[in-house]
Amino acid sequence: MSIYDKLNENQREGVMSTEGPVLLLAGAGSGKTRVLTTRVAYLIEEKGVNPANILAITFTNKAAAEMKERIANMVGIAGGGIWVMTFHAACVRILKSNADKVGYDSSFTIYDSDDQKTLMREILKRLQIDTKVYRERYFLNAISNGKNELLSPEAYRDRVGNDFAMNRIADVYKEYQDTLRKNNAMDFDDLIMKTVELFANNQDVLNYYQEKFRYIMVDEYQDTNSAQFALVSKLAAKYRNICVVGDDDQSIYRFRGANIRNILDFEHFYPEATVIKLEQNYRSTQTILDAANAVISNNESRKDKKLWTDKGAGNPIHFRQFENAYGEAEFICDDIQKKEKEGVIRYSDCAVLFRTNAQTRLVEERFVVKGVPYDIVGGVNFYARREIKDLLAYLKTVANGRDDVAVKRIINVPRRGIGETSIDKITNFAAKKNISFFDAMCEADLVSTLGKAEAKVRAFTAMIEHFREVMRETDLLQLITTIINETEYIQSIEYGGEEDAVSRVENIDELVSKIVSFEENNQDGTLTDFLNEVALVADIDFVAGDSGRVLLMTLHSAKGLEFPHVYIAGMEDGVFPSYLSLEALDPESEIEEERRLAYVGITRARECLTLTCAKQRMLRGQTFYNSISRFLREIPSSLLDTRIGAFRKMKVTVPVKKYTSPENRPYIAGGAGALQGSGIGQGIPSLGQNPDYQAGDRVTHIKYGMGTVQKIEQGAKDYQVTVEFDTAGQKIMYAAFAKLKKI
């Protein structure tokens, strides 16, 4: 039996439709990865296409790795020339060869969100903008949205006209972009935007890649933004052999810039397109699929399709309503623990999904009390941990001395007596001479009033030059070993007296192992290649396949995953769908996005789905009385093991009122995914004094024990504190209620 005989009829059509534009509408669990990988094999083995002429774009490194492995199993070494990678990874490879054409050199640095915040903080200080009024994230979000629409700082200013506030953003955008270029750095949005810019201004480069990629495939097409659409369109313009795979019913990232019209209007852009529906599901029972179909059918902006399976009806969907959120959390914990003790499940078979991160607290508390092992997806990324970022900053400085953010991070790590005053003097000197911070350090003798710090600065630059010599003469393993040893970084951790010293050293060991693995798999790989690879790692790439723990995560984080047993908590109007969507200026569009999120959550379950809600729920000292979620009420009663009964027709009890601006709404404004509600209850505490602890301090909590403060952010009514607890993992809480005590 050939690999093509294992496909169903529609999958086979998707594999063999190779010429011209193709839209594969792939429902959840319909085997789209099998279709994509088999399609690659078909192109190579049956159509004689050179592997180097194939580009396959995914959205996560995890998906790319799985696709590469499957292709290798099918076609062997012949598939080695295919580009199978994320949008960002593909753009990095293209830009590395053509960086000079967009004003960079090939050793450019990629800034993560922390680097962006650090840079933005400096820019706002430079422009004398009060960060208590305008947070860094306010400007970064606006700039990201502009880049997703391919707007340069100048084009952004032209679009906003005379609007004062928007012109302030334009000022910051220009300064931000100028500083990035000066630092020889790009953020993630730049990787796409600069590649589109490269193609627009260099026809010869575009011709090269159009000839190279005669067959293009794009996975998760419903998640593409306008910039990604432009990129793919330019690449496919010559041969038009573009196959996009996606599901409009799973388009849930509008807040990140995803444009659902890219997939809904595909036939408009490619009138000759072949459209193929993949509706047979290989993951879930028919009962679960019937529930998903019933919910999503209420959306108007969608392409018609209906999931089905030959696996049978399976168990009914479990619905449970509780008096309050405490009862809900108690049930979820007890139900999972009971099934595990009976041998029905393993803990790793279970996932508990929430609309927002804030909802996890009560379930976490019950898990801690009952001893149920769990992990939270979306915690601190390995490469975002302090010790890892420090060592990566050393590597970045060695590779790219123009990266001021990296240099300033490590200039006094470990402590070497170079204070903030000296750093400010060097910064001002660099600005006057229009040179990088590191280059200014190399001219320390010209920096007035530097005094005794001059010798320490010179010692630092000499050390970096020594590391560069090591890089030129040896390999990455020797380089990182030299950095660790000569800076005495591990000794500084061990002598620092912090309780997490052992785990921090273990993290460093893991980084060294990563470097060894990189060199084994990339014999010609450079330091810049390594830094680019780790910069492109996403949170989802750290989700363990069988961790032996229950996974807690938001519905957004669950996309692309599946579990035998899924619990979706907080199925209430005002929670899910969120209050923000219910009172939006365009509620129909917002609720359709929320409904797609419900569809994603339901279709994560393979065997058993449990939906829970509470009659009342407390948020920041306020009690909310919400009706059962409309999404739950859209599921036919025949599919549930507990009848909703009278609750099915209950009206929404959250008062829905229109407000002229976010500032005069009665709820706490939050970012994408924040839970919001009406003013029922005793009100919200006013913003108090600054907490007596700061990032990096050790604190203790009455329930979670000891932990380390990761960051503190000022919200509208209170300070939001992120703490990495030694035993309970990462928690995000508000200072007024957390009552953290500095150790």
Place of tokens 């529906």: 277
Contact indicator for 225, 148 with CB cutoff of 8 Å: yes
Strands 22-26 and 350-354, how do they pair? unpaired
What pLDDT, in 10s, does the model give residues 529-549?
Answer: 899 888 887 655 555 556 789
219 annotated active-site = yes
Q: Which of 33, 179, 280, 700 is catalytic?
A: 33
Residue 134 neighbours by CB distance under 10 Å: 15
SS3 741: strand
Which contiguous run of DSSP H or E holds residue 359? none
Residue 33 annotated among the catalytic residues of the structure: yes
pLDDT tens digit sequence for 353-381: 999 887 888 898 889 889 899 888 865 56
pLDDT > 90: percent of the chain: 58
As a whole number of angstroms, the distance between CA 491 and CA 484 comes to 9
Kindly indicate the confidence band of residue 501, based on its pLDDT and cuts at 50, 70 and 90: confident
Could you write out the DSSP letters of every residue in 58-72? ESSHHHHHHHHHHHH
Short-list 174, 161, 159, 180, CA closest to 127: 174
Residue 332: pLDDT above 90? yes
Q: Tell me, what's the pLDDT at 543? A: 57
Report the amino acid identity of residue 368.
V
Catalytic residue, candidates 604, 617, 665, 731: 604
- Mean pLDDT lowest for which of 52-61, 573-582, 708-717? 708-717
Local structure of residue 383 (DSSP, 8 states): G
Helix (H, G, I), strand (E, B) or coil at 350: strand
Dist CA 731 CA 363 (whole Å): 12
Give me the half-sphere count of Cα atoms (radius 13 Å) on the Cβ side of residue 140: 22
Which range is least confidently modeled, 236-250, 365-379, 416-430? 365-379
**What span, in angstroms and rounded, lies between the C-alpha atoms of 385 and 406?**
15
Calculate the alpha carbon distances from 28 to 292, 453, 603 in Å. 10, 61, 7
Mean pLDDT, residues 52-62 taken together: 91
Please give the radius of gyration of the chain, using alpha carbons only, rounded to the nearest integer.
Answer: 27
Taking each continuous run of H as one helix and of E as one strand, the counts in the chain are 30, 20
Output phi, psi for 422, to 5 deg: -65, -40
Cα separation of the two ends of the chain: 66
- Structure-block tokens of residue 20: 């011209």
Active-site annotation holds for 250: yes
604 in active site? yes
C-alpha dihedral (342, 347, 352, 357), degrees to nearest 10: 140
Residue 489 identity (one-letter amino acid): Y
The angle at the Cα of 101, spanning 98 to 105, to the nearest 5 degrees, equals: 65
Residue 165: name the closest of 137, 139, 131 by CA.
139
Q: How confident is the model at residue 720 (pLDDT cuts 50, 70, 90)?
A: confident
pLDDT at site 707:
85
The residue assigned the tokens 């590391």 is 467
Question: Over 60: is that where the pLDDT of 658 sits?
Answer: no
What is the tens place of the pLDDT at every residue in 271-284? 999 999 999 999 99
Among 9, 75, 87, residue whose Cα is nearest residue 43: 75
Rounded CA gap, 108 and 184, in Å? 5
Point out the least confidently predicted range of 210-214, 563-567, 640-644: 640-644
Higher confidence at residue 52 or residue 134?
Answer: 52
pLDDT of residue 669: 28
Quick check: 693 pLDDT over 50? yes
Average of pLDDT values for 220-231?
Answer: 95
What pLDDT is recorded for position 538? 60
More confident residue, 707 or 655: 707
DSSP characters over 184-217: TEEEHHHHHHHHHHHHHH-HHHHHHHHHH-SEEE
- H or E segment and range at residue 25: strand 22-26
CB 172 within 8 A of CB 146: no
Using DSSP, state whether 724 is helix, strand or coil: strand
DSSP assignment letter at 110: E
Is it the case that residue 672 has pLDDT exceeding 70? no
Highest-pLDDT range among 624-638, 655-669, 700-714: 624-638
Residue 497 pLDDT greater than 70, yes or no: no
Q: What is the pLDDT of residue 736?
A: 67
DSSP characters over 528-591:
HHHHHHHHT--GGGG--SS-SSEEEEEHHHHTT--EEEEEE---BTBTTTBHHHHTSSSHHHHH
Averaged pLDDT score across all residues of the chain: 86
Model confidence pLDDT, tens digit, residues 567-580: 999 999 989 998 88
Q: Which amino acid is at 107?
A: S
- Residue 648 annotated in active site: no
- Reported as a pLDDT band with limits 50, 70 and 90, residue 659 is very low
Residue 713's H or E segment, with its range, is: strand 705-714
pLDDT beyond 90 at 498:
no
Query: Which amino acid would we find at residue 199?
Result: F
Q: Where are the alpha helices (DSSP H) in 76-187?
A: 87-98, 113-126, 136-148, 153-160, 164-182
Choice among 219, 403, 590, 594 that is catalytic = 219
Active-site choice (58, 195, 250, 676)? 250
Structural contact between residues 554 and 378, judged by C-beta atoms closer than 8 angstroms: yes
Lowest mean pLDDT among 334-338, 396-400, 476-480, 524-528: 524-528
Q: How far from the centroid of its chain's Cα atoms is residue 314's Cα?
A: 34
Residue with tokens 């969120």: 578
Separation between Cα atoms, residue 143 and residue 137, nearest integer Å: 10
Q: How far apart are CA 601 and CA 567, in angstroms?
A: 9
Q: With a cut of 80, say whether residue 550 has pLDDT above it.
A: yes
Residue 224 in this model has a pLDDT that exceeds 80: yes
| Beta strands 242-246 and 22-26, pairing class | parallel
Strands 563-568 and 605-619: parallel
pTM of the predicted structure, to 2 decimals: 0.75
What distance lies between CA 6 and its chain's CA centroid? 34
β 242-246/318-324 pair status? unpaired
Q: What is the pLDDT of residues 16-51, one digit of tens each?
A: 999 999 999 999 999 999 999 999 999 999 999 999
Statement: residue 656 has pLDDT above 80? no
Q: How far apart are CA 20 and CA 374, in angstroms?
A: 47
Question: What number of other Cβ atoms are within 10 A of residue 313's Cβ?
Answer: 13
Asked whether the predicted pLDDT for residue 646 surpasses 70, the reply is no
DSSP E strand stretches across 355-418: 374-376
Please tell me which residue in 112, 115, 136, 220 is annotated as part of the active site.
Answer: 220
* Of residues 606 and 537, more confidently modeled: 606
Could you tell me which of 566, 381, 399 has the C-alpha nearest to residue 476?
399
Q: Could you give phi then psi for residue 620, rounded to 5 degrees? A: 50, 45
The pLDDT of residue 376:
84
Cα 291 off chain centre by = 28
Is residue 47 annotated as part of the catalytic site, yes or no?
Answer: no
